[in-house]
């Protein structure tokens, strides 16, 4: 792929009216601005709004899982049809991509998705992604489309990830936009407003969590509003919204997938010595494990937390691990090799 990848996610509140209808004025702006970028980027659009657009057709919609699935089944074709209508004058064709969490957890399936997107881009077609709500297993769902957009961005090595929201950016406690965040840490979370829209699942906390993950994988993230004139174009240039700066680190494609796409099976707390060793790119030995919350089988992925409870790495298990006592009997055995540990 010669062109850099750009992932743009639009929240429900960003593209629907207060009545729940798709805001065609916004979709036209998305088409107009995206058309100016297609020659420079391989673009993926991740769009919420299917449930919001479809729920008004259901009698006594109650927000239950089955009702949301039904609303999504109604709203998805409405959403894609609207996008296609406004992209057509710009001679841009769209392809619907309904994704499930398992498509990212299974490396082989993810690589198939990657090949499909590349084929679309070769033919100047933009994929528009959404969760396959109708059949997604509730135990293996994306937390929201912020997660889906982030997994696509990280998996494809995107240059930038844009989150379009109902507010002009990350707001501080006084309601002012924070123009730039060098690193998303506890201090940032403590000052931002945490409201979420009436039609969305995520909210600013969700966006910051996934922006942080994208930043750790070297991707610049911008949180902005489509209500701003030329919002997408200005966001890419860093001239609007909140720019969350990427961290300078080199992570292989495989380890990016390990850190983001794989399903986390357990949480392992380690002592200070083990934490320091892992930070120095050493393997995780059984002797350094303090607690584990769930048994692991060889090849399963787990998070690693220090004594303060802060998750600082993700790893793939080298052996079967039943409980802490069975681990301590192994002592010098490596639970995860250094090559299978990704620092966050």
125 vs 164: CA distance, rounded Å:
21
Statement: residue 257 has pLDDT above 90: no
299 vs 287: CA distance, rounded Å:
20
Tokens 């200070």 identify what position?
272
Confidence of residue 271 (pLDDT cuts 50, 70, 90): very high
Confidence of residue 258 (pLDDT cuts 50, 70, 90): confident
Query: Which of 164, 209, 222, 157 is CA-nearest to residue 46?
Result: 164
Question: Which residues sit opposite 152 in a β-bridge?
Answer: none
Tens of pLDDT, residues 58-82: 998 998 888 888 988 898 899 999 9
Mean pLDDT (whole number) for 245-252: 80
Mean pLDDT (whole number) for 170-181: 89
Number of helices and strands in the chain (H, E):
13, 15
pLDDT of residue 136: 61
Q: Collect all residues with Cβ–Cβ distance below 8 Å to 277 and sequence separation of at least 6.
A: 283, 284, 285, 288
pLDDT of residue 201: 44
The correct CATH number of 5-253 out of 3.40.1160.10, 3.40.50.300, 3.30.300.30, 1.10.3720.10 is: 3.40.1160.10
300 vs 21: CA distance, rounded Å:
43
Count of beta carbons in the 10 Å neighbourhood of residue 55: 20
pLDDT of residue 140: 45
Say yes or no: domain 263-343 is CATH 2.30.130.10.
yes
pLDDT of residue 46: 96
Domain parsing of the chain, residue ranges: 5-253, 263-343
158 and 76 in contact (C-beta within 8 Å)? no
Mean pLDDT (whole number) for 251-280: 81
Dihedral angle sign, alpha carbons of residues 252, 253, 257, 258: negative
Count of beta carbons in the 10 Å neighbourhood of residue 282: 15
In the DSSP assignment, the letter for residue 228 is: S
Mean pLDDT (whole number) for 314-322: 85
Tokens 């048994």 identify what position?
295
The string of DSSP codes covering 229-273 is TTHHHHHHTT-SSEEEPPP-----HHHHHHHHTSPEEEEEEE-HH
Statement: residue 199 has pLDDT above 50: no
118 vs 124: CA distance, rounded Å:
10
7 vs 25: CA distance, rounded Å:
21
Q: Do domains 5-253 and 263-343 have the same CATH topology?
A: no
**pTM score, two decimals?**
0.79
């Amino acid at each position: 792929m010669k062109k850099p990848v750009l992932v743009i996610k639009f929240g429900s509140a960003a593209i629907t009216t207060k009545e729940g209808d798709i805001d065609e004025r916004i979709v036209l702006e998305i088409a107009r601005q995206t058309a100016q970028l297609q020659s420079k980027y391989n673009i993926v659009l991740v769009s919420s709004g299917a449930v919001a657009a479809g729920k008004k057709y259901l009698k006594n919609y109650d927000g239950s899982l089955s009702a949301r699935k039904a609303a999504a089944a109604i709203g998805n074709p409405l959403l894609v049809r609207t996008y296609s209508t406004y992209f057509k004058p710009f001679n841009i064709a769209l392809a619907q991509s309904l994704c499930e969490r398992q498509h990212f957890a299974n490396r082989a399936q993810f690589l198939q998705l990657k090949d499909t997107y590349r084929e679309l881009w070769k033919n100047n077609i933009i994929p528009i992604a959404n969760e396959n709500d109708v059949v997604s297993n509730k135990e293996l769902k994306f937390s929201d489309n912020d997660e889906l957009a982030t997994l696509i961005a990280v998996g494809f090595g995107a240059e930038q990830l844009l989150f379009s929201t109902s507010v002009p950016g990350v707001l501080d406690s006084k309601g002012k936009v924070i123009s730039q965040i060098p690193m998303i840490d506890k201090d940032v979370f403590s000052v931002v407003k945490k409201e979420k829209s009436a039609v969305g699942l995520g909210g600013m906390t969700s966006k910051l969590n996934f922006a942080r993950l994208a930043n750790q994988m070297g991707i610049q993230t911008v949180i902005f509003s489509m209500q701003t004139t030329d919002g997408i174009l200005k966001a890419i240039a860093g001239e609007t919204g909140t720019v969350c700066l990427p961290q300078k680190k080199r992570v292989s494609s495989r380890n990016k997938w390990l850190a983001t796409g794989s399903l986390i099976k357990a949480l392992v707390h380690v002592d200070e010595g083990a934490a320091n060793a892992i930070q120095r790119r050493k393997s995780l030995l059984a002797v350094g494990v303090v607690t584990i919350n769930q048994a692991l089988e060889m090849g399963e992925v787990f998070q690693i937390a220090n004594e303060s409870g802060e998750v600082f790495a993700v790893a793939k298990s080298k052996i079967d691990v039943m409980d802490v006592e069975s681990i301590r009997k192994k002592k010098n055995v490596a639970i995860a090799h250094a090559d299978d540990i990704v620092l966050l």
